[in-house]
Amino acid sequence: MRIQYILLLALLLADKLAAAQSLKYFETKHLADSLTFKNEYSLAGNAYTDLLVCCRDYFTTNDYLDGATVYAKLGEVDKAFSFLESLASKKHYNYPDYFVHQQKWAALENDKRWKPFITQVKLNLQKDIKYYNLKLKSELEVIYINDQKYRLPLDSMINQYGADSEEVDELWRKMAIADRLNLKKVRSILDTFGWLGPKKVGSKAAFALYIVIHHADDYPKLQVKYAKMFKKAILDGTSDGKDNYAFLQDRILLNLNRPQIYGTQLKRCKNGNFAPFPIQDSIHVDQRRQEVGLEPLKYYVRLINQMSGSH
């Protein structure tokens, strides 16, 4: 009995330590993101280094990319390559096109380590590509481009012409047409092949499936249908993206006029700030967010407000 009690205490302690480290990761990540957004790259670089030291087990692909970007902007080439080389070796990064014709990598391109790094990323792709459905990969990547085509310029168009302008209305019209066409194509793919994860089509193409269903607000029944398919793929281990599933689930609940679960969906208040739509069991929202890999709600809302210029 005493041994069982000690084991239980050990498990509880391990859970508390893991939760503390997870919170430390999100706190430091939020700091790094905020400093980067304010162009305080030196302090942001320090934050990414601290993040790597304290929370290496939580470090994501995007963390390595963001840290490398910050140090590249600072011209701290050695530190930038430290992040990139870990990206290629530890995360098996396999998307070489990300590094083509991007000004942010200019400080690194003449370094002797640049070509070997790109070669490693290409080798990673060669190892993975034999498992891909290349036809679907290509089709889904085009779908993703079409999904973003009218969304990326939306904020600048609103700032330039106003939210109620003819120019912005035309952009919304084109977006709606593109969304309907994308949804038709994605439905055909999902109904034929099921939910495809990164191992079958690559990360960008897999994300395209999610984002098209996420944007299908006019078709809530279809969102529910394919969200179930997405969840099954996650549980079966054929797809990742617990965080994306959380966003989709909240979006569906909002479209059904029900409280969200994870607090991912925000509204703009009269004071100009963003705040979450109603959340069920809001006291435990951060616990649920942690389970799917999302930062505490206060950091999420704070960063959105910072990025939107509300704070």
Task: Decide which of 256 and 21 is more confident.
Answer: 256
Task: Decide which of 5 and 92 is more confident.
Answer: 92
- The answer to whether 265 touches 277, Cβ cutoff 8 Å, is yes
- Taking the CA atoms of 303, 305, 306 and 311 in sequence, report the sign of the dihedral they define: negative
Mean pLDDT over each residue of the chain, to the nearest integer? 90
Position 305 scores a pLDDT of 87
Domains of the chain: 2-129 (1.25.40), 134-308 (no CATH)
Q: Looking at the predicted structure, is the pLDDT value of residue 12 above 50? A: no
- The answer to whether 209 touches 189, Cβ cutoff 8 Å, is yes
Place 92 in a pLDDT band, splitting at 50, 70 and 90.
very high
Q: Looking at the predicted structure, is the pLDDT value of residue 1 above 90? A: no
Position 303 scores a pLDDT of 87
Residue 279 phi/psi, 5-degree rounding, is -120, 130
Position 6 scores a pLDDT of 35
Could you read off the pLDDT of 254-279 as tens digits, one per residue? 999 999 999 999 998 888 889 999 99
Neighbours of 216 (CB within 10 A): 23
- Residue 168 CA to residue 175 CA, distance in Å, equals 10
- The answer to whether 26 touches 295, Cβ cutoff 8 Å, is yes
Q: Looking at the predicted structure, is the pLDDT value of residue 18 above 50? A: no
Could you read off the pLDDT of 102-125 as tens digits, one per residue? 899 999 999 999 999 999 999 999
Copy the structure tokens of residue 57. Answer: 């087990």
What per-residue string of b and e applies to 115-135 under the rule 16 or more CB within 10 Å gives b? eebbebbeebbeeeeeebbee
- Mean pLDDT confidence for 157-183: 93
- Mean pLDDT confidence for 24-48: 93
Place 21 in a pLDDT band, splitting at 50, 70 and 90.
low
Looking at the chain, list the stretches that DSSP marks H as alpha helix, in order from N- to C-terminal side: 2-37, 41-54, 61-74, 77-90, 114-129, 134-149, 154-161, 166-193, 198-201, 203-214, 220-236, 242-255, 285-291, 297-308
- The answer to whether 293 touches 262, Cβ cutoff 8 Å, is no
Position 114 scores a pLDDT of 97
- Residue 72 CA to residue 108 CA, distance in Å, equals 7
Residues whose CB falls within 8 Å of the CB of residue 310, separated by 6 or more in sequence, listed in order? 272, 273, 274
Position 155 scores a pLDDT of 84
Position 309 scores a pLDDT of 66
